[in-house]
Amino acid sequence: MSLQTTLKRSFTLAGITLHSGVISTMTVHPAPANTGINFKRIDLGVPNHQKVIECSINNITSSQLCSSLENMYGHKVSMTEHLLSAFHGLNIDNALIDLNTDELPILDGSSKKIVETIESVGVKELHAAKKSIKILKPFMVGDENSFIKVSPNEQLSIDYTIVYDHSLIKKQNFILDELNEVKYKEMISPSRTFGFEDEVEFLRAQGLIKGGSVDNAIVLSKDGILNDENLRFENEFVRHKVLDLIGDIYLSGMSIVGSVEAYCAGHRRTQEMLKFLMNDSSLSKIQDAISSNSQNPIYDSKEVINYI
Ligand SMILES: [Zn+2]
């Protein structure tokens, strides 16, 4: 039987944010079974329950060049994908993240530091069955230029392809036949986010990537990279897209049991896929590790979280 997990103890990570360029501090705490992943904006002077932003498809909100969640009171948290990717990759079901601003720190642009820190504090099992979204029927979002196809499978597998007009990328494909802790840590988590030198000015003019630098992203010049550090993998770019996809699936608060094929996709396409799932209850069911046949639709609201 597969049990839910949480951390053995709390940890804090801090650093500059990619977009707003401020110092952000997040403290990740253990949380009880069946409470899921929740962010808490401790900087806001509002009643406690209004500070909490739950990982849930209903809370996914639009944002540029990252993923964001917004609660019913209009409070947001953005750049969730790398932390959620580490939680998903390491099978963490429950955690409470105190945050002192609206954006998570970018760290080195990958989830490596988060994975190492989670391993140093440890993970513990809880007395409740793990829940996941079991895919029942194949479906697709997007078109031939950019799509995500999802189909039934016995585990989560990911097949990702990207195409960029740059000599270091061109066409890259990565297949993760099964997401597990070892594969995630070794093959995915060190992969950094990336951007193009000739887009920096344009994005900064829009108030984005104010904190971006070679310390937290691979920056591609016309025919190379500006970073002193070499690429960590020859296909680090597509591996990072897999990292983001693993994180964005966890915006739902759960893993998917199914195969996911992504082509030139990104945050928006993954969010579109999750909302497509939410809107058609025949496509999936919530499966728990004991009964394997619960029929709850995935848009069931969770109970109010009393412990926060
Ligand atoms: Zn990313």
CA–centroid distance, residue 271 to ligand 1 (Å) = 14
Q: What is the pLDDT of residue 302?
A: 46
Torsion of CA 159, 165, 167, 168, to 10 degrees: -40
Question: What pLDDT score was predicted for residue 298?
Answer: 43
* Distance in Å, CA 81 to ligand 1 centroid: 6
* Cα distance between residue 151 and residue 258, in whole Å: 6
Q: Residue 240 Cα, ligand 1 centroid: separation in angstroms? A: 6
Amino acid at 18: L
The radius of gyration of the chain's CA atoms, rounded to the nearest angstrom, is: 18
Identify any residues that bridge with 39 across adjacent strands, giving them in sequence order.
53, 97
Mean pLDDT, 10 residues at a time, the chain of 308 residues: 93 95 97 97 97 96 90 97 98 98 97 98 96 97 97 98 96 98 98 94 88 94 94 97 97 96 96 95 88 46 47
- Ligand 1 mean position, distance from CA 82 (Å): 6
Distance of alpha carbon 41 from the chain centroid: 18
Known catalytic residues are: 267
For residue range 92-114, list pLDDT tens digits in order.
999 999 999 999 999 999 999 99
Whether the model pTM is above 0.85 = yes
Question: What would the DSSP string read from start to end of 169-191?
Answer: TEEEEEEESS--HHHIIIIITTP
Q: How far is the CA of 33 from the centre of ligand 1 (A)?
A: 28
Which pLDDT belongs to residue 201?
86
